[in-house]
Structure 1
Amino acid sequence: MQLLESMRLFARLAELGSFTKAAQSLNIGRPQVTRYIQELEASLGVRLFQRTTRKVALTAEGERFYARVQDILADISAATSMFDRTGATLAGRLRIDIPTAFAQMKFIDSLKGFTDRFPGINLVLGVTDRAVDLVGEGIDCALRIGNLPDSSLIARPIARATMVTCAAPDYLSTHGHPDTLEALAGHRGVNFLSGQSNRILPWHFSVKGHNRTLVGQAGITVTESNAYVQCGVSGFGIIQAPGITVAEHLHSGALVEILHAYRPAPRPVSLLYPSRTHLAPQVQVFIEWLQENFVQLQAEWLSK
């Protein structure tokens, strides 16, 4: 059992590249991490890590050992969870990260259903719109909306989100109700500055089956999705957002959809996680739960 724990600790240290981060992620003391690694190296007769005052990196021998350890841990994880997916025996921490917009909708309420079904799983919920370093920050998986940049992460499609272009009634009564894309030239928009690319995200429109992008003249630029929607409600200008994030405002009349005939193609909603081969059972059941329940949260604005 000590060898297995040493292998798990070794894999975590290899992923995080820091004794302190590995200790924190496993809720143990840093000296214990050091001792386990030293004992593992002694038992193998090789040096697994190169250590400097600023960085911990795998040696060539450590790289080869890490590849085998990943396979071993994946097999053990599959073996220990193969008989029960009901939640009766599943236990451990599951750290997930969701967009800010999801923290204001039915998604949070629905998580109670997940914890009821899997009471042994301790959820740690992060909420942010920025790009997160899953491995470096110890995050098991992240839910994101939109097309994703190429990376080594695995992206599991969960749903498609309908996009809506809209504005506050007061704004439209003052500036007019645009019914063509050309009419947008005389309007102001709320711009969203992406924290990942540090650029203004354009609006997308569908014109005879083809995608067309525009960047509106900004009345204000924001970096957080709830603030983006609230700026639209407050009349700063036109916004384009997933329907799930503005549904309550559309139903109350605080926002009015415009340019319905030019609605863009739905944007993908994906769950990101670092590895396909070393997928913890907590992550696997969360994926299955999302695929079963997510679209039902807002059937009007989400589809498979």
Structure 2
Amino acid sequence: MDFTQQLRIFVAVVDNGSFARAAEALLMARPSVTNAINALEKGLGARLIQRTTRRISLTGEGELFYDRATRLLTDIADAQNLFGGTDMPPCGRLRVDIPVALAKPLLIARLPQFKALYPDIDLILGVSDQPVDLLADGVDCVVRIGELPPTSMVARKLAWMTVVVCGSPAYLAAHGIPETIEDLKHHQAVNYFSGRGHRPVAWTLPGNGESMYLPMHSGIMVNDTEAFVGCALAGLGLIQVPGLVVAKHLSSGRLQEVVPAMRDIRWPLSIMYPNRQHLAPQVRAFIDWMGTIVQSTASQWLHLTAS
């Protein structure tokens, strides 16, 4: 096995967080990956990776070598693409995690297009509203709605989503229709939480370039988008939600938009991936494809700018 292939395997092991997941991504047998790393370390005369039964970690020498290896692989890829690129299509395992809110309205119906473009990519799609650890869970990239917490991951904004406040006709008939932001303080909400803290996500308010929030009274909290919308349809309270998620219910009249001024709010739609200089071709292909479908789906609910 040549040195360049050993570099690719080493970077794949680090990026995937394990020998087994690297083997899946590279479509190789796990012993071949192990042998390649052993041969690389022997040739360099240095231990690069510490192995335990549960996880791997880089040694000090491994950290230095990883940075150099990713730069070398990037230079090799640039050289190969200098006069029009390589004929090798992206292939291998690709694990993506997306929120429940986006699975049906944005992604699922368009996946045949992705599979037609990249038939050799084996896509593993996780649909969940719960946080994931990209490295620990072996996830290549995640799509997220809303402001993101500080992270070492790379976050690329794809678009901005118009937000609405809405409720069922039954709820509004019983509690009145709020017309202003001040009116919202006297209403019940279906609140949403994510993660283990069970802390409700405060409602976002329009502001002059600054994030402003409104804690809403609630008799119920949920951590799943479909249940969240279902509670609103059942008349349990108002919800603040991207319009794309409830567009069909607004059109049918099962939900009614209130406080039109809240439409001034736009939440970012982003894709996140590990802060690595050398992205696997299948990951880069998906990131670029997501950017393309977002542009083609731009509408009253999905915008390419924040204003």
Corresponding residue of 1:108: 108
- Supply the distance in 2 between the matched residues of 1:208 and 1:56 (Cα, whole angstroms): 46
Distance 1:46 1:209, change over 3 A: closer
- Supply the distance in 2 between the matched residues of 1:208 and 1:139 (Cα, whole angstroms): 36
- Supply the distance in 1 between the matched residues of 2:33 and 2:112 (Cα, whole angstroms): 34
- Aligned amino acid, residue 245 of structure 2: T
TM-score (norm 1): 0.88
- Supply the distance in 1 between the matched residues of 2:246 and 2:236 (Cα, whole angstroms): 15
Contact 1:153 1:272 survives alignment (8 Å): yes
Contact 2:17 2:138 survives alignment (8 Å): no
Contact 2:164 2:262 survives alignment (8 Å): no
What's the secondary structure of 1:150's corresponding residue? Answer: coil
Distance 1:36 1:57, change over 3 A: same
CA RMSD of aligned residues (A): 2.6
Corresponding residue of 2:270: 270
TM-score (norm 2): 0.87
Distance 1:211 1:31, change over 3 A: closer
* Count of aligned residue pairs for this structure pair: 303
Distance 1:123 1:185, change over 3 A: same
- Supply the distance in 2 between the matched residues of 1:208 and 1:60 (Cα, whole angstroms): 46
Distance 1:83 1:119, change over 3 A: farther
Select between 214-223 and 191-200 the one with higher mean Cα deviation: 191-200
Corresponding residue of 1:47: 47
Contact 1:90 1:121 survives alignment (8 Å): no
- Aligned amino acid, residue 44 of structure 1: L
Contact 2:171 2:236 survives alignment (8 Å): yes
Corresponding residue of 2:127: 127
- Aligned amino acid, residue 296 of structure 1: S
- Aligned amino acid, residue 50 of structure 1: Q
> Deviation of residue 61 (structure 1)?
1.9
What's the secondary structure of 1:135's corresponding residue? Answer: helix
Gaps of 5+ in 1: none
What's the secondary structure of 1:41's corresponding residue? Answer: helix
- Aligned amino acid, residue 91 of structure 1: P
What's the secondary structure of 1:166's corresponding residue? Answer: strand
Is 2:158 aligned against 1:158?
A: yes
Distance 1:48 1:223, change over 3 A: same
Select between 57-66 and 236-245 the one with higher mean Cα deviation: 57-66
Is 2:42 aligned against 1:34?
A: no
Distance 1:276 1:55, change over 3 A: closer
List per-residue Cα deviations over 1:274-303 (Å, max 9, x = no partner): 135212333333333333321432512011
- Supply the distance in 2 between the matched residues of 1:280 and 1:84 (Cα, whole angstroms): 19
What's the secondary structure of 1:33's corresponding residue? Answer: helix
Corresponding residue of 1:91: 90
